[in-house]
A = this chain, B = another copy of it.
Amino acid sequence: MAEVTIVEVSPRDGFQNDPKLISTEDKVEHIKKLVEAGFDKIEVTSFVHPKKVPQMADAEDVLGQIKHIIPLKKIALIPNERGYERAAKSHVDEVNWVSAATDTFNQKNIGMTIEDNDRRFFEVRKRAKEDQIQFNYSIAVAFGCPYEGGVSEEQVLRQVEKAVDQQVDRITIADTIGYAIPSQVESLMKKVVDMAAGIPVAIHLHDTRGFGLANAYAAYKQGVAIFETAVSGIGGCPFAPGAAGNLATEDLVYMFERMGVKTGLDFEKVIEAADFAAKLTTNKALGRIRHIERKFL
């Protein structure tokens, strides 16, 4: 395998937690910069309740202003049926359904148990199929939960099994709070890839504890070829204490470029988008490569 896909999530996971409201105009400009850098799959927003995540209240507007960018597959996170309906009406190409690996996180994040969430998942998955909208099934806190602590592989694989049963279009294993270490990634991702039986498997990485790149490499070695990251390492989850910082996309691009693995991205333009994202946000940017002198890259 000498090709990977990086799904850029900064417009959603990078922005959602920022205390400063970012204008729709800036969000759209950021997405355009990402498209110029070569990203063709971007999680552009989420259809959550605007009272819960005010930063995402302009989801319809953002999608409206980028609808003419045809090569871009627009992904939106949805927490429930209402979110699905808003997303479908806004012509998204893919919905990202999130189910946590633990009940406590699911309760705090989506306000219901995994079981209740699953019932809605089956229903929404069916509707997305009818509407020909791609369906990504994300499993949050798959490596560790801020409320329950350790998460067993069985907890995650139980969710993977349901996603396989429903023949979703993609399964994403999310290290929501950046708790994973590479040995854990190696072990779990091997089992997930096996169980997925051909359904594309992605990993969503945070760099909270500095293991983002190590985990990306470990996942890649297990056959994972889709990575969810955010330029300049911005972001985090508002309902996950200690979740500051997605893995910085440019650091991952740098690694793959050095390895000779194709990302289809223009590194310098990724850096430009990262610089722009860093300016828009108040989050502490964790990316490393952006701060290295060019001639020493």
Contacts and interface: CB of A to CB of B under 8 A. Distances in A.
Interface of A: 146, 177, 181-184, 208-214, 217-218, 241-242, 251, 254-255, 258-259, 287-289, 292-293, 296
8 contacts: A181-B259, A208-B288, A209-B288, A209-B292, A210-B251, A217-B218, A241-B296, A242-B292
B296 A214 contact: no
Contact of A255 (B146, B177, B181): B181
A217 B212 CA distance: 12
Contact of A182 (B184, B214, B288, B296): B214
Copies in the complex: 2
B259 A208 contact: no
Nearest first, the 7 A-B pairs at minimum CB distance are A210-B288, A214-B214, A242-B296, A182-B217, A213-B214, A183-B259, A181-B258
A215 to B, nearest CB: 8
Nearest to A216: B214
Nearest to A213: B214
A258 to B, nearest CB: 5
Contacts of A258: 181, 183-184
B242 A210 contact: no
Contacts of A177: 296
Contact of A296 (B146, B181, B210, B259): B146
Contacts of A251: 209-210
Contacts of A209: 251, 254, 288-289, 292
A289 B242 contact: no
Contacts of A211: 213, 255
Nearest to A289: B209
A86 B160 CA distance: 63
A44 to B, nearest CB: 27
A124 B288 CA distance: 40
A234 to B, nearest CB: 15
Nearest to A247: B210
Given A181-B255, A183-B259, A259-B181, A292 B208 contact: yes
Contacts of A182: 213-214, 217, 255
Contacts of A212: 210
A139 to B, nearest CB: 20
Nearest to A245: B288
Contacts of A292: 208-209, 242
Contact of A242 (B146, B217, B254, B293): B293
Given A146-B296, A183-B217, 6 more contacts: A183-B258, A210-B210, A211-B255, A213-B214, A214-B214, A217-B218
A70 to B, nearest CB: 35
